[in-house]
Amino acid sequence: MLAEIITIGDEILIGQVVDTNSAFIAKQLNKIGVSVYQITSVQDDKDHIIKSLQEAEANANIIIITGGLGPTKDDITKNTLAAYFDDILVRNEDVTQNIYRIWKDHLNNTPTQINLDQALVPSKAQVLMNYHGSAPGMWLEKGGKVFISLPGVPYEMKGLLDDAVIPKLRAQFKFPYIQHETILTYGLGESALAERIEAWENQLPPYIKLAYLPSLGRVRLRLSGKSMDKDLIKNEIKRQIALVLPQIEDIFVGFERDDSIEAVIGQQLAESKKSVATAESCTGGKIAELFTANAGASRYFKGSVVSYATQSKIEVLKVDPQLIKEFSVVSAQVAEAMATSAIKLFDSDYAIATTGNAGPSKGDADADIGKVYIAIATREKVFSEVFTFGNHRLKVINRAATKALEMLQKEISKK
Amino acid sequence: MLAEIITIGDEILIGQVVDTNSAFIAKQLNKIGVSVYQITSVQDDKDHIIKSLQEAEANANIIIITGGLGPTKDDITKNTLAAYFDDILVRNEDVTQNIYRIWKDHLNNTPTQINLDQALVPSKAQVLMNYHGSAPGMWLEKGGKVFISLPGVPYEMKGLLDDAVIPKLRAQFKFPYIQHETILTYGLGESALAERIEAWENQLPPYIKLAYLPSLGRVRLRLSGKSMDKDLIKNEIKRQIALVLPQIEDIFVGFERDDSIEAVIGQQLAESKKSVATAESCTGGKIAELFTANAGASRYFKGSVVSYATQSKIEVLKVDPQLIKEFSVVSAQVAEAMATSAIKLFDSDYAIATTGNAGPSKGDADADIGKVYIAIATREKVFSEVFTFGNHRLKVINRAATKALEMLQKEISKK
């Protein structure tokens, strides 16, 4: 059972927006056992869309299309679908009511004709009601194949996919079992790791696939299995992981969950009723932002001081100016003082502090570009490490944030 | 002159990573006048890659492929390209030296055989040297069409694209002139805007395309022109913008530059030697992170207090507990006190403060989900506005951050 995803919109093909919808859809489909054969992004062009629909129909059983459902002239997906299914557009009463409701509840206003025309759908389509916007989702079938059209606005698409599309697909088809397990390692390069576990890789059964995903100093090992026999996959992946773990003990940091490392930390802290705060210089609030992106962060995240200017390290974080004078603002001493200060300021159980130079220029502290000190403090102790994260500003910021979270998680997990 | 982008990797098709490479490549190609016909993401599968190469060759003159160049078994792009071009892999001496250099300079280590085998390239390929990694870029030609293979690691791909691919393409082909101008509006919905400017839209010449890009309370209007006659496009787009601006005066906020609003603010502040700080509750450091993502932020960004816990608003920001008791932590009074405090703490000329409830639950303050107070302070005054940003946590955070930046820019621009 294969799916294809078609994302429609010139804005994708001129690089004005990154297509994040496809990854979300692919992940949700995988969870229910549907493999995605191909993702295709095409222009708002009738012939091109029809051509891609024909190709997708030839390759896949489930075709999910996003985008081009807006009310304006450049949105042509609906008319194109009608043409592809040799159909006409008819007004759907439920959608009309939904549009009136949205305009009343959220815009204290009545919809215009252009808005109301979003209730026009192909007569052969089953409507998937979009409670977050005026463009409905549409479900069409042809020779046992399913075509699903969703709006391109990410949160509208997500709502429709989770609430309507996935349940309807599960009700209609019997899907194989798909399982992915991703092992997080760091400290060893992709090729060195590959050489180390080569013998193990070679004995993997054909229905278990191995992938190496190198990224920012880490390598993720992904095992993927797919079969109608759920137990076979579950047991074999379990067995294979048990075989490989002893060979990578020194670089193994855990299994990748759907949740990010900051979400995992948050869960650990919430369970143990502990809290964390951050004092960030070169990461500029990135770590705080990662924590607070998670629902319920207020249970464990106390706050952060982003002490970007040296003066604010003294004024706000009360770092001893002598320390800065003696060791420079980019130093282990200052990083540790920042972390200790964060513990006091926010009365937290843990604190992360970062100071360094993200580049592109050397800056006041005259520290090498990419050099970052990361300190972790508890109520009892503080320690720090120094890293060099290359010369790409955003990469330095992201690597420093990731590394800091890894250091914190190691510390928390000790307990 | 059309291009096609093919991104290779199972991780994309199972939704484990978002394909950001395609948007970057598409943007760079557009800048030199190359339109992207289609973006296709395919699995690490030889037959599938060959099929997509054949389709791309039929549609486009320039085919750019990313991914699958790693040293491990699941990386099959190079062998597949060799097969597609009926070619063999040969060892390239320059790449071999580059690999030795990287291992020496960055890993204090010598490469293993697997690493050195990354110097194997199709004999017909021109090597594009990758100074950021061990996998080289490759340039192949067939019947006047160009096939370019780049590593999937974003910063390696970007380096190769900007330093090698784009210059080489410009040297080899004569491209038409492409221009995109994007008008930023907010306060009016997509369809209402479309109705208002319908007459103008209808008189646009065929070589000027209009697109509506709605997002988080804003609608971006993109005008795109393409022709060998550069002046024709430049003048016509200029003329059309002059025609439409008077009709949207009330909702016009500016033109979209490649730089974000925070970058524009940064430039304005740096030029006027002014500074900004933030005091963030519900945005959790997002605004600080947006500022500090820009190079040279230290010239104007003083710092931030992320006062997530109520206690930290009192301890760190010195907000009067009475104020919180009387008006609740989510109130105009507290937002304004936070902003004023940030001005003092960081000795900045401007400050942004946010307090609200990003959801999903009601939280201590019992404030409605999505309700956010945003305050802007200068050394002389402070003011605030209240917004409701819906019930989607990340959307609330992003909309609050964007709106706060819009408020600040309006204030700065007054001067």
Q: Which residues 184-203 on chain A approach chain B with CB closer than 8 angstroms?
A: 189-192, 194-195, 201
User: pLDDT, tens digit, for every residue of A223-242?
Assistant: 999 888 999 999 999 999 99
Per-residue pLDDT tens over the stretch A348-393: 999 999 999 888 776 666 788 889 999 999 999 999 999 988 777 8
Chain A, 35-74: which have a CB under 8 Å from a chain B CB?
35-44, 48, 52, 55, 70-74
pLDDT given at position B213: 83
Give the closest of A29, A201, A363 to B73, CB-based.
A201
Domain boundaries, chain B: 2-172, 177-256, 261-413
Q: Which chain B positions have a beta carbon within 8 Å of A112's beta carbon?
A: 191-192, 195
Domain spanning A261-413: which CATH class is it, in words? alpha beta
pLDDT at A181 > cutoff 80: yes
Q: B320 to chain A, minimum CA–CA distance in Å?
A: 17
Residue B55 pLDDT grade (very low, low, confident, very high; cuts 50, 70, 90): very high
Instruction: Say what the pLDDT of residue A217 is.
Output: 66
In percent, the amount of chain B with pLDDT more than 70 equals 97
Predicted confidence at residue B217, as pLDDT, reads 66
Confidence (pLDDT) at A54 = 96
Q: How far is CA A310 from CA A275, A278, A396, B293, in A?
A: 26, 16, 19, 18
- Choose among A199, A201, A213, A188: nearest CA to B112: A188
As a whole number of angstroms, the distance between CA B117 and CA B91 comes to: 8
A210 touching B (Cβ < 8 Å): yes
Q: A415 pLDDT exceeds 60?
A: no
- Is the pLDDT at B214 greater than 70, yes or no? yes
B2-172 maps to which CATH number?
Answer: 3.40.980.10
Question: Considering only A99-108, B209-218, B222-231, which range has the smallest mean pLDDT?
Answer: B209-218
DSSP string, A354-400: EEE--SSS-TTTTPPTTEEEEEEEESS-EEEEEEE--S-HHHHHHHH
Distance CA A276, CA B283 (A): 17
SS3 assignment, position A103: helix
Q: Residue B74, CB half-sphere, CA atoms under 13 Å: how many?
A: 22
* Residue type at position A393: R
Q: What is the least distance, in Å, from the CA of A370 to any CA of chain B?
A: 13
Give the closest residue to B300 by CA, choosing from B346, B340, B354.
B346
Asked whether the beta carbons of residue B360 and residue A302 sit closer than 8 angstroms, the reply is no
Q: Is the pTM of this model over 0.95?
A: no
- Which of B20, B295, B308 is the closest to A302 by Cβ? B308
The pair of structure tokens assigned to A313 is 């390290």
Token pair in block for residue A95 = 């959608």
Determine the average pLDDT of the residues in B406-415: 84
- Quote the pLDDT of residue B350: 97
Residue A187 has pLDDT above 80, yes or no: no
pLDDT of residue B365: 63
pLDDT for res A358: 87
Structure-model confidence comparison of residues A320 and A113, the more confident one: A320
The answer for residues whose C-beta is within 8 angstroms of residue A323's C-beta and 6 or more apart is A331, A333, A334, A337
Q: Which of residues 220-279 of A touch B (CB under 8 A)?
A: 222, 224, 275, 277-278
Among B72, B61, B65, B62, which Cα is nearest to B50's? B65
Kindly report which listed range (A7-16, A239-248, B87-96, B207-216) carries the lowest average pLDDT score: B207-216
Residue keyed to tokens 């599309």: A165
Average pLDDT over residues A108-133: 91
Token representation of residue A146: 């399913």
CA A395, CA A215: separation in Å to the nearest integer?
Answer: 11
Q: What is the pLDDT of residue A256?
A: 77
Q: Identify the pLDDT of residue B321.
A: 94
Do the Cβ atoms of B289 and A289 come within 8 Å? Answer: yes
**Averaged pLDDT for residues A317-342:** 95
**Does the structure show a pLDDT above 60 at B16?**
yes
pLDDT at position A216 over 70: no
Short-list A240, A11, A317, CA closest to B213:
A11
Cβ <8 Å between A37 and B15? no
The string over A107-136, giving b where at least 16 C-beta atoms fall within 10 Å of a residue's C-beta and e elsewhere, is eeeebeebbbbbbbbbebbebbebebbbbb
Model pLDDT, residue B54: 96
Residue B284 CA from chain centroid, whole number: 21
Mean pLDDT over A294-303 rounds to 92
Q: Does A18 touch chain B (CB under 8 A)?
A: yes
Q: Is the pLDDT of residue B415 over 60?
A: no
Q: What is the pLDDT of residues B106-149, one digit of tens each?
A: 777 788 888 899 999 999 999 999 988 889 999 999 999 999 99
DSSP B248-309: GGGGEEEEEPSS-HHHHHHHHHHHTT--EEEEESTTTTHHHHHHHTSTTGGGTEEEEEEE-S
Q: Supply the pLDDT for residue A258.
A: 64
Predicted pLDDT at A395: 81
Average pLDDT, chain B: 91
**The domain made up of A177-256 is a member of CATH 3.40.50.720:** no
Question: Average pLDDT of B381-407?
Answer: 89
Q: pLDDT tens across B293-318, in order?
A: 888 899 999 999 999 888 999 999 99
> Average pLDDT in the A63-74 region?
88
Is B387 in CB contact (< 8 Å) with chain A? no
Q: In what order do the strands lie in the sheet with A137-142?
A: A126-128, A137-142, A145-150, A62-66, A2-8, A35-42, B35-42, B2-8, B62-66, B145-150, B137-142, B126-128
CA atoms within 13 A on the CB side of A291: 36
pLDDT of A298 over the 60 cut: yes
